[in-house]
């Protein structure tokens, strides 16, 4: 049995924006996450992988924190939510990577929990001087 679109929207808002689902679920009251972290990957991190699985590793790379608020993510609609501002990684200063996937997870470093992951519409070669970024509304996260 599939979830309703209204519930999908509510669930996305809970995860991405910390918005409670009335009478059902609320954001952690004692130590809620204030941001989620976007990671770049050279292959699919997979359904059982962590944020470290196939993660890009070039000089200057670090996961990008995105606020769990309206400044980080737009309110979900039609079972999808998008980033509400430019998401810009630091510039590559040395090394290279070909990025094929992006993930949203819990942790800034380490083997964090992947919440959502997906393939880019086209792979991106990153080398010195390249600053990976996602335009406002370019990252779409869906629930079904």
Residue-wise pLDDT for 43-62, tens only, equals 999 999 999 999 999 999 99
Residue-wise pLDDT for 99-116, tens only, equals 999 999 999 999 999 999
Looking at residue 144, what is its pLDDT? 86
Under 8 Å between Cβ of 63 and 33? no
Q: Got the DSSP string for the chain?
A: -PPPHHHHHHHHHHHHH---BTTTB---SSS--SEEEEEEESS---TT-BTTTTB---BT---EEEESSTTTBPPPBTTEEEBSS-EEPPPP-B-EEEEEEEEEES-SSSSPBEEEEEEEEEEEEEETT---EE-TT--EEE--
Residue-wise pLDDT for 62-104, tens only, equals 999 999 999 999 999 999 999 999 999 999 999 999 999 999 9
Question: What domain range is 42 assigned to?
Answer: 5-142
Indicate the number of domains in the chain: 1
Residue-wise pLDDT for 25-40, tens only, equals 999 999 999 999 999 9
Mean pLDDT across the chain, nearest whole number? 97
pLDDT at 6 over 90: yes
- The pTM for the full model equals 0.95
> Quick one: residue 109, left, alpha or beta (phi over 0 = left, psi -120 to 50 = alpha)?
beta
């Amino acid at each position: 049995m599939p979830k309703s679109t209204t519930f999908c929207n509510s669930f996305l808002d809970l995860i991405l924006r910390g918005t409670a689902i009335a009478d059902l679920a609320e954001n952690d009251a004692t130590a809620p996450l204030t941001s989620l972290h976007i990671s770049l990957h050279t292959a699919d991190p997979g359904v059982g992988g962590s944020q470290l699985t196939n993660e890009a590793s070039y000089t200057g790379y670090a996961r990008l924190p995105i606020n769990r608020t309206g400044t980080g993510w737009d309110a979900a609609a039609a079972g999808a939510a998008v980033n509400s501002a430019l998401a810009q990684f630091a510039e590559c200063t040395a090394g290279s990577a070909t990025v094929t996937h992006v993930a949203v997870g819990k942790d800034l470093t380490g083997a964090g929990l992947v919440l959502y992951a997906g393939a880019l519409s086209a792979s991106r070669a990153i080398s010195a001087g390249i600053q990976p970024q996602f335009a406002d509304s370019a990252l779409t996260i869906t629930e079904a």
